[in-house]
Chain A
Amino acid sequence: MSAPVQSGPVTREITPHIARWVVAGLALVWAVPFWWMLVAAFRPAGSGADASLLPSLTPTLANFAEAWASADFPLYFLNSS
């Protein structure tokens, strides 16, 4: 929307650049819990690496099947709505 604003004298200033890198770093931190959730959701049960952030080499959908089967999802949805 206001892209042209970034041109001009701003580019020569160092402070906004540093700030942008710091915020980019924070974005990574912000994403860690979600990333872990994704990685863990596809990890085979009992692989012993529950806290690892590296994705499993043998991803599985078994966790989803287990979660679906262990809970009456439509009923929970109805109860919480």
Chain B
Amino acid sequence: MTHLLDTIPAAAPAGPPVARAAPRPGAGLLLPLALLSPSLVFLALFTYWPVAEVVWDATHEVTRRGTRFVGLANFTALFADPTFQRALLNNALYAIGTVVPSLVLALAFALALNGAGRVRAMMRAVFFLPVMIPLVAAAALFLFLFLPGIGLIDYHLARLGLPGANWLGDPDLALGAITVLTVWKNAGYYMLFILAGLQAIPDEAREAALLDGAGPWQRLRFVTLPALRPTFAFVGVIALLNAVTQVDHVFVLTKGGPSDATKLLLFYIYEQAAERYDAGRAAAATVVTLGLLAALTTLSLARGQGPEAAR
């Protein structure tokens, strides 16, 4: 095991160090390259080639009269498009609205359901159930829940004498409705990670806090949460990625409407590419989205792991 781990850092910095160490540069490189080549081929084919293609698309304009290089014009047009601005805002609201409540709820579920017992196991299963069905199926289910007047929610509101709402058809409510579905779908998934994180907290830390007379909130604040910090960094990134990359329910429930109220970035890209045939605009939006995601991921992972590493 140690032997294997030792060799990995040596292999990671590629060309120069190896080349300097070996007497015959060609022979030293040949074997690692040969061994790496299958992965490199696939990496090039499925990762770098599409990236190159997107960058090419983003800097070109395809019209009925031909294709030409336009530099950053697609990006200028993109940022000037009010629909894209709306999609950016929607996605930001959606990310905050799904990530924060999902994580808070996941923590609450995990804290309450950590440990043995039949009831706890059953409740864990209930929270995990939504994770097991595809997002499309969950959306189809919620389509009926949200149906105005006759759906599950409005029907029961009416029985209580309360006015219902057009949950998916009102531009002020639609994004909220989509958010509720996402929280319902994902909280149980994040709960799983936090449960694992809780298992890793040594009992001694908890006992020591109890001996010091710490109350439940103090234990949460000073023992549990600090220990869960790396878990949260990881789950936070997953939740953030989900908020940008999962839009199946938008297709089923609203198709980006009403009046762009649920237009998320990925749906915007899909519309530009598939409905408007505007490959340049779609590629530019893809580049911007990927850039944003990369920046946010780096930031939250660095913040989550920095202090932990120092400790």
Contact = CB atoms under 8 A, between A and B. Distances in A.
Question: What interface size band does chain B fall in?
Answer: 35 or more
Given A26-B105, A27-B127, A51-B156, A19 B111 contact: yes
Q: State the majority secondary structure of interface residues on B.
A: helix
Q: State the majority secondary structure of interface residues on A.
A: helix
B150 A15 contact: no
Interface stretch (A5-13, A62-70, A71-79): A5-13
B113 to A, nearest CB: 7
A33 B184 contact: yes
B108 interface: yes
A64 to B, nearest CB: 16
Question: What interface size band does chain A fall in?
Answer: 20 to 34
Contact of A51 (B142, B155, B215): B155
A45 interface: no
Contacts, number: 77
Given A2-B199, A30-B184, 16 more contacts: A3-B115, A9-B210, A13-B215, A13-B216, A15-B216, A15-B217, A16-B112, A16-B216, A22-B108, A23-B113, A26-B108, A26-B109, A33-B130, A33-B152, A33-B184, A50-B150
Interface of A: 1-3, 5-6, 8-9, 13, 15-16, 19-20, 22-24, 26-27, 30-34, 36-37, 40, 50-53
